[in-house]
Structure 1
Amino acid sequence: MPDSASTSTPRSRGAHRAEPTSHFRSRLAVKACALGVLGALTVAVPVFASNSDDANAAGEAAPKATSSTLETLDAGFAAAAKEAPTSDALVEDPADQDRAAAERASRVQVREPLPSEAEKAEAAAKAAAEIAAATPPPPPAPEVVMPVAAGDYRLTSKYGPRWGGEHLGVDFAAPLDTPIHAVADGEVTYVGNGKDGRSSSMITIKHEVDGKIFESWYVHMYPDDLYVTAGQKVKAGDVIAGVGNNGNSTGPHLHFEIHTDASGTTTEPLSWMKALDAVDVGEL
């Protein structure tokens, strides 16, 4: 028996428990509905069988589930489902709600329309123009070059008096077939045998540079080393022939002359070329 002197304050049952949430109450409602229906099916059959025969008899005595019973069960679950909280209501933590909203927002992306072909072409042209503007233009090509590349020749005879006569050009001694270049843009005026006292095969080209009109003459090539024809247009540096040793020659070389007018007036070739800023043909 309890001590009469001791006293205790009765505690109401479940007073220490927190108030059930709406989600919890909904789950209880679903379970209660299901248990209630199942209880209605089983309460009428007392469990008193002690052997297999009794169990069989009890099974035969148990009520069969009818369509109306199943409909009643379905209706109970449907009613509970209507009271079930939505998925949004399950997210009771504000931080969880913020994360869910951020996730939904990240899935919605505003896409810029793809550029058209015309827009792509315009952008490419603009980029090319910017690159061209930033790139300095190449230096202009020289207008006048020497007839033989530096390092391929040596000067063996100058312009002026020689052997009791006049040497009307300069001689570039070089190995046979060394390339001979047109000294400037122009038109080939003659290709053939020597003329006006020049021996062997020869080529003449008419030029105009800085308002000056003149002809360049190339002598002592072999016929099969002439690479141009009369009337042909040439550019400064074009290979027009190969060095020969044809005619009145003491060794393979190019005899080179400059004529300043149609009367055949000659001038010292190296000074003339220097005045026109001639450069080594290898710089082209």
Structure 2
Amino acid sequence: MTKNIQELQGIASQVRRDILRMVHGCQSGHPGGSLGCTDYIVALYFAIMKHDPSFNMDGIGEDLFFLSNGHISPVFYSVLAHAGYFDKAELKTFRKLDSRLQGHPTTHEHLPGVRVASGSLGQGLSVGIGAALSKKLNGDDRLVFTLHGDGELQEGQIWEAAMFAPHHKVDNLIVAIDVNGQQIDGPTNLVMSLGDLPAKWAAFGWEVLQIKGNDMAQVVEGIEKAISMTGHGKPVVILMQTDMGFGVDFMMGSHKWHGVAPNDAQLEQALGQLEETLGDY
């Protein structure tokens, strides 16, 4: 499923269209972070990870991805659909009654591609560490990837896990942080400043990379570099500088679009800025 950068950018444009239409369709959801993280998740599923859309929960011999900041489920669902995990027509059921596409991913709906319920922030790193250790115990040489919001780093469990992973040499784990500087209540530096994130992660014993998370070429290169750093006794963290709402000019950089759906006029304006490449569902 490996694609070149231009193809990945095309997929990302379609995914962003899906995100907007999904949250508009139910007038609920989180478009801002979904749009900002699109390039990273598209790169993982279409250029980086070894994965099987026929899907089994064990994922033996596959790379695994865990979405910790589960409120950005629209981007996750869209990518899974386009990667072949389920029919993209199902995206129209997002957040509807009896849908498998809940506002935060869950497992009891048995949606292919979802291995853990998420959205209660702070837990995904612990889950990823557990999966990575399991792969080591099973002699499985594939990697585990997790994604987190920067506001999520205000959760104490993150830092417990951040201490645990280097101590136990969990070096088959690559963690990405969406550093957009925004959370639901406002800018992170006003709600609770995160301080010097590169220095903090390095002090905890992690290999640290910094990339621009809305530059597809830099995203792919950054993940590939992170992969080259695995297997040497340390976990790896990628700090991705992104814009919340990336791709839609009136949404970019504002916490006001963290969890607000566009109205009809706003949807039309936003879709006018994003090319339809794979066909709308």
Q: TM-score range by the shorter chain?
A: under 0.3
Q: TM-score, normalised by structure 1?
A: 0.21
Q: TM-score, normalised by structure 2?
A: 0.21
Counting helix residues as a fraction of each chain, which structure ranks higher? 2
Structure with greater contact order relative to length (CA < 8 Å, sep ≥ 6): 2
Counting strand residues as a fraction of each chain, which structure ranks higher? 1
